[in-house]
Structure 1
Amino acid sequence: MRLEWLEDILAVAETGSFSGAADRRLLTQSAFSRRIRQIEDYVGVELFDRTHKPIRLRPTTEAQREQILMLNSALRQLVVDLRRGERITSNRVVIACQHALTATRVPALVQQMPTTRDGIYVRLRSANLDECVGMLLSRQADVAIVYQLPDERNEVGADFLEELMIGTDRLIPVSNAPLPKAPALTEHNGEIPCITYPPDVFLGRVMERKILPFFNPGLRHVPKVETALTLAAVEMAAIGMGVAWVPESLAHDRLTAGTLVDLSEVLPSCDMQVMAMRVQGKPNLAEGIFWSRLQAV
């Protein structure tokens, strides 16, 4: 059963004549009559009582009128949804980004996206670094936005990935209070309670390479809790569970408000780059527009 056939049946029921229904459906009366016969041949029964003036639905058809109305409405909506879905697919950019960047840098980039007549649809997928690169290489994402150390380069797919540095950040130690002075630290054997990251995530590797080896010899890193989420690390530092190393951009508001203290004058910190990556090749409309925006940044 076609959508146009359902609308033909309803047009006859509402106008009470084939000529009136033909006018509504923008057809000649002969063309409309042929289509009504085609519908009845397909169904195998007469749908209209032609002996009555005005023409009305036969009782069996009238009993299904509500169902016909519902089907007509549902099919119309399906057509709208399918067309909209096609626009979304062609105008959609999927961005994979590390958790901290999802909460800090990426919203501002998305806000600056220029619009077109049909709009640009952005899908954000938050994950750790390896997952972001994996989504990019498997074409589950169009662009990846991730942290990278200045002296490192992504060797996975380096031959066919295009990279663009779009900003910088610092991994800094934060706590809800300044560290005690040297005598007090000595009384506690120089122990610094710390919120740590798993060794298999990006910030865990950064801690191992760029933070822990540069601890003051008189201080000792003492893990208290481990999390892979920088947002959780910020919250735990804010309630006094220990020192957390987090991106400065993520801690900015709390540092300004005074609920966190930057300890980088006492404890090691390191610089990081914010990198955008995409697979080389012909991008879709939305990816091309988003990448152009990143280049402008």
Structure 2
Amino acid sequence: MRLEWLEDILAVAQTGSFIEAAERRFVTQSAFSRRIQQIEQHIGVELFDRTRKPVQLRPTTETQRSRIEELAEALRQLVGDLKQGAKLSANRIVIVSQHALTATMSAMIIERAQRTAPDAFFRLRSANLDECLTQLFSHQADIAVVYRLPGSSHPVRTDFVESVVIGREQLVPVLARGRVDWFLGCLSAGELPFVAYPADVFLGQAMERTVLARLRRDLRLEARVETALTFASCEMALAGVAPAWVPTSLARRPIEEGRLADLSDHLPSCDLEVIVARLLGPRSELEEQIWLELADRSGRLDGS
């Protein structure tokens, strides 16, 4: 059963006239009559009582009218969804980013991309570093946005992938302002309770190399809480559980509001680069446009 046939049947049922139904369906009366005959021949059932004025559905057809209306609406919705899906598929970009970046920079990344592709559909995924690269290499994502330690080697292979630094970030030590005296007392005693990142995730490894290894020389480090989520680390610091190292983009507002204290005068920070990466090889025009906008060095996300 075709959608146009259902709409033809309903047009007659609603108007009670083949002439008015033909006008509603934007065809001549003769063409419309032939279509109705074709429908009835295809089904093998006479649908209308033509002896009555206005024209009425036969009783067997009338009992199925609500089903015909529901089916027509469902088919219209299906057609619309298929068209929309095809449009989105042809105009879709999948961006995968590390969890911390998804939380702090995803809005800026999408806003930058929309400058050159305002009608594009963006699918944003969040994953740890290894999964970001896996999705990139397996073509599940078009572009990856990940961290890198400045001057360090990175698992993004240059023979398969091209990458560009688009911004810089810092993990800064913060704590609830009302707990700063407690923190200073811990330092005086040679102790440092802190919120840790797991050793098997990128931020945990970066913190160990750039911050914790230095502090361990002079202080007894005690991880009070461990979480892979920067949002959770920030909430722990706000609750006064222990100092936490969180991205400046995440900590800036609570610091400005006076809820968090920046402990950078007492503890080192961790510098990070934000890079975009994509596979080498053929790509769509849309992906190329978005890549050029994101990789534009004159528009770094951090304004540098």
- Normalising by structure 1, we get a TM-score of 0.89
**Long gaps (5+) in structure 1:** none
- Per-residue CA distance 1:53-98 (angstroms, 9 max, x = gap): 3322111111111221222122112211211121122222222112
Contact 2:18 2:32 in 1 (8 A): yes
* Secondary structure of residue in 2 paired with 1:11: helix
Return the offset for 1:273: 0.2
2:240 aligns with 240
User: Does 2:107 align with 1:107?
Assistant: yes
Q: State how far apart, in whole Å, the 2-side matches of 1:42 and 1:252 are.
A: 69
TM-superposed CA distance for 1:289, in Å, is 3.5
2:208 counterpart letter in structure 1 = E
Aligned mates of 2:116, 2:276 — CA distance in 1? 21
Partners of 1:274 and 1:124 in 2: how far apart?
16
**Structure 1 segments (4+ residues) deviating >4 Å:** 179-184
Take 1:225 and 1:127, find their aligned partners in 2: how far apart are those partners? 21
**Alignment CA distance shift 1:181-1:197 (3 Å):** closer
Partner residue, 1:123: 123
How far did 1:25 drift? 2.2
State whether structure 2 residue 30 is matched by structure 1 residue 30.
yes
Matched, 1:165 2:165: yes
Deviation readout 1:75-134 (Å, 9 max, x if unpaired): 1122112111211222222221122222222212323413768x2222221222112222
Unaligned 5+ runs, structure 2: 300-304
The aligned amino acid for 1:129 is L
Contact 2:172 2:248 in 1 (8 A): yes
How far did residue 163 of structure 1 move? Answer: 0.6
Q: What residue number does 1:191 align with?
A: 191
Identity of aligned residues (%): 52
Specify the alignment match of 1:53 in structure 2: 53
Q: Which moved more, 1:108-117 or 1:207-216?
A: 108-117
Q: 2:125, 2:268 → 1: CA distance?
A: 31
Q: How has the CA–CA distance of structure 1 residues 39 and 181 changed in structure 2, closer, same or farther, with 3 Å as cutoff?
A: closer
Range with greater deviation from structure 2 (8-17 or 222-231): 8-17
CA spacing shift, 1:104–1:131, aligned 2, 3 Å: same
- Corresponding residue for residue 283 of structure 2: 283
Report the TM-score when normalising by structure 2: 0.87
**Alpha carbons of structure 1 residues 220 and 42: separation in structure 2 relative to 1, 3 Å:** same
Distance change >3 Å, CA 95–CA 9, structure 1 → 2? same
Q: Is the 8 A contact 1:90 1:284 kept in 2?
A: no
Task: Tell me what 2:209 maps to.
Answer: 209
Give the distance between the partners of 2:245 and 2:40, measured in 1 at CA: 74
Name the SS of the counterpart of 2:139 in structure 1. coil
Alignment match, 1:219: 219
Task: Say which SS state the counterpart of residue 295 (structure 2) adopts.
Answer: helix
Q: Deviation of residue 182 (structure 1)? A: 7.9
Shift of 1:225: 1.1
When the two chains are superposed, the root-mean-square deviation of aligned CA atoms in Å is 2.3
Give the SS at the match of 2:115.
Answer: coil
TM-aligned CA distance change 1:64 to 1:216, over 3 Å: closer
* Counterpart for residue 62 of structure 1: 62
Q: Determine the C-alpha separation between the residues in 2 that align with 1:129 and 1:173.
A: 22
Instruction: Give the aligned partner of residue 82 of structure 2.
Output: 82
Contact 2:117/2:290 (CA < 8 Å) preserved in 1?
A: no
- Give the AA of the match of 2:59: P
Q: What does the per-residue CA deviation read over 1:6-46, in whole Å, with 9 as the maximum and x for residues that have no partner?
A: 01111222333334333332333333233222211221211
